[in-house]
Every structure is written in structure tokens, then in C-alpha cells.
Structure 1
Amino acid sequence: MDEVELRQLRCLVAIVDEGTFTDAAIALGVSQAAVSRTLAGLERALGVRLLRRTSREVTPTATGLRVVAQARRVLADVAALVQEATSGHTRLRIGYAWSAVGRHTVAFQRRWTAAHPGIDLHLVRVNTASAGLGEGACDLAVVRRPLEDRRFDTAIVGLERRLCALAADDPLARRRSVRLADLTGRILLVDRRTGTTTPELWPPDTRPAVEETHDVDDWLTVI
């Protein structure tokens, strides 16, 4: 298989965005023949047909739609890489599954900006056990349960109170605090990947019923 080049991906995206080979050539600043050759080279490299061309329009094939979507992501990643390499700035990506660093988040962001003006801080939400660290989505992560992945070191940076989320019209919502015993007989919503509250916190004979959720948005919606 021939190698796929960025110029080929740019050409494909331009054809789809502009609607014709002629308009794509104008947008790219090349000849229409060059656009045709570049697309043909991409289709040859991939071994599939990407576009249907008639006298009136150019439309992607089913495979072409998937390739165009992926091409957009690749080109965006390359643009971000160039921007990062040439901007003179570095960045730190901190992953989290929910709540970032809790009530300290805004103050932390402000202090970081003041102390490190040349390093951009990005908070990245990833709903996995490692909050994106294992997936390569961040440089470090805030997690609220022990990491089993031995590739990473951990350190305790703070302690938090356990909070109970209830519907606004629930009688318990009027209280300033609730005990675990108050929730006996209720349905407990848990995210076993990232959550820290589990039925094991209750004695075996008083544990609440459990429903599992996929992420914090799903968790709040169900509540």
C-alpha cells in the first residue's frame, strides 16, 4: 500500500466541502487536473473508491464519508501540533472523570495562570478509571479511587467530604447532612469505573439497591 499524504487528505476534504473539483482547485490554489491526480492517488493508496462523480455533483461513497471524517480529525490534530510547536507555549493537560479538583478548581486555574503564564492549562474530562491517563489523553490526572495500573505513581493531594445528590423535592434534600443509614432502602446510583461510593459502605443487611450509570451526566439525569 502506498503512503497516504496530508496533501491528499486536504484535497479530499476540499472536494467534499467545495462540492466540485473546480471549486476545490480554486480553494487549494492548484489546477483541476492536480486535484484529480491527487484524489486518484489517495484512492489508489487506500484501495477504495471515495467519491462518486457526475456531471452535476460529487458525493462521497459510504467509505468516503468515514474517510473524510477521519481526515478532518487528522488535519485538525496536525494543525494543533503545528500550533503547539510554533507558539512558544507549552501545555499541561490534567484529566478528570468528574468535578476536576472540586471547589478548588477555579482558584487553582487562576493561581496556575498567574504562576505559569507560559504554560497553558487544559482540564480534560475522560470517564475512565485513570481519567484519561491510561488512554494518553492527559499528562496527569485527578482520580478519587486507587489506580491499579502500575505504570503510574500516585500521591494524595487532598481530602473531600462525601456528597449525596438527591432530587430537589426529596425530603432529605432539606437537610444539611445525611447519614448512610438514612439511605437504607433507597436506590443507589453508582459509576463503578470512577465513583467512590459503593454498597460495601453499608452493613450487609442494610445495603441499598444499586443501579449502575455510565458517567456523571447519566448519573445526574437519572437522579
Structure 2
Amino acid sequence: MTEHRHRLREFEALRALVTTGTTIGSARRLGISQSAVSRSLAQLEARVGRALFVRSSGRIEPTAEALRLNERLDPIFETLAEIEGADWAAPEDEPLRLIVPPTLAHHFIISRVARFLKQHPNRRVQLEIQSTDVLVAGIVDLRYDLGITSGMIERTGVRLLPWRRSQIVCAMPVGHPFEAKTMIEPQDLDGVEMVEFLRRLGTRANTEKLFARAGITPKTIAETATNMAALELVREGLGVTLINPFPLLTSDFPGVSVRPFNAPIHYQTSFVLPANRPVSEAARQFMRFVKLFTPNDRFSEPV
């Protein structure tokens, strides 16, 4: 081993301290003494030539350099954990705090959570079902480890990992005249009865820009905040709607027909993580599981 090769124990001490915030907690997690943790960190700081932690209010806070180094170590320790069949970074009984909006929760994620827990009986999940606004605030405040949403997010403090991409479609009740078309054009919607989304949502802003450019004015019958409510209103015959097809329309939705809509409006379903905190092993494990057990469909594709 060369003199300048970073030792695994030093990296373990770094990750433990980033996670726990104290040398006592790090020592317990690694099963070594506090002095051994401090010694490993001092050696690592000497090797990289910069301070990696600062003391603040009784805790030891990682610097930006420490967080970047820790993130680069993720693949190494993920591989080691898979090889050893153990979760080194967190106790098995530490729950994954997951937050998901209603549509994704009830029509996609809940079944994946159930399957995940059956395959990983030592894991626990705390599942919160809230709007995307609440999801983002909770991730920023570190009340949740992982979020999943198709919402259009522009907010500091969170990191998005897109994993599914879909394009807007036009949904209509069975028997609607649009069923005769293979593709719905924006001009087709002029004067047509529509179920639209509330103006505070990103989807509504995008469709209104599209209508303005095309010089058309649909007839808004109802407005709602969720994809499920929009489709239920369409099924009741209140008009058509423009909607993200993933995941609600990836399988048959009785009483509703779907046609492609010719517009450059796309959606990304993303994992949402805190911007400056290490990703827990449970969160990484669940993200891998969701990607693996998302079947192919006609409306979405992996990113």
C-alpha cells in the first residue's frame, strides 16, 4: 500500500460523522473508540490538505468539501454493502421516511412499498401522502429522506434525480368525437369542453401558453388539482383533459380513451432528495428497487 492511499477506515469515519454529527455516535456506529474516530479524521484531513469538519453548537458539522467527498464515496460503499449483504450506514431498524403525492402513492408507490418490504423484511418505511408543495418543504427541512413526484419543482435545497419521462396526452370519455382521431392538435380544442387544472399548478400554465400561441379558447367546465379527479370528471362526460399519463394511464382506465396530443409538453417523474445531505442506504435501495420494478408502458420511458 502506498503512503498516500486513502484508507478505508478513514472514509468510514468520515461517513459516520457526516451521518451522526458526533464522534460518540460515529464510534458507536463503527464499533471503535472516539479517539480512533478522531485519529482517522485527522489523518484524512492531513491527506487531503484541508479541514473537513467544523464545530458548531456542540455538534461537528461537515464542510462543503466533506459533503462532496462523501457523495463521491457513495458508489464504493454501496458496492461494499451489496457484497457483504449488510447496511453499514444505518441500522436496519431505522425507517425510510418517504413522502409521495396522492396520485403516485395510491396508483403506483404503495404497491412497490409493499413488495419492497416483503423482499426486505428488516426494513421499515414511514409513508407520508401529501401534495408536492408539502413534499418539497419536508425534504428541505430534512423531515423526510426521499420524495417522489411528477411535479414541476424549482426550489433550492432539493436535488432531483429524474427516472421517468412522459409526454402530455388528451383523455376523453368513451364515445367522444375525438376518438376518431389518431392525434389531437391544439386547434382541435377551440371551444371544446375541458376539465382543466388549477392555475397555481405548472401544467395549467403550460397549457395556457400553448392555447395563447395557437389563438384558441377551450370551454372550461371544471378545474381540479389532481390527475385522478380530472380523469373521474372526464369519465362522467364533462369534457376532455390534457394530462400526464404516468402512472394513471399506463394501464386501462375504464370509461376513458386516450390519444396523443401534439404539443412539446413533457413531464419528468423524479426522486427528490435533500441537496446537501448524504443519501441514506435505505433511500438508495428503494430507488434501485422502484427503477427495477417499473414495467415498460406506452406512455413513459426511463430517463
TM-score range, shorter chain: 0.3 to 0.5
Higher normalized contact order (CA 8 Å, seq sep 6+, divided by chain length) = 2
What is the TM-score normalised by the length of structure 2?
0.35
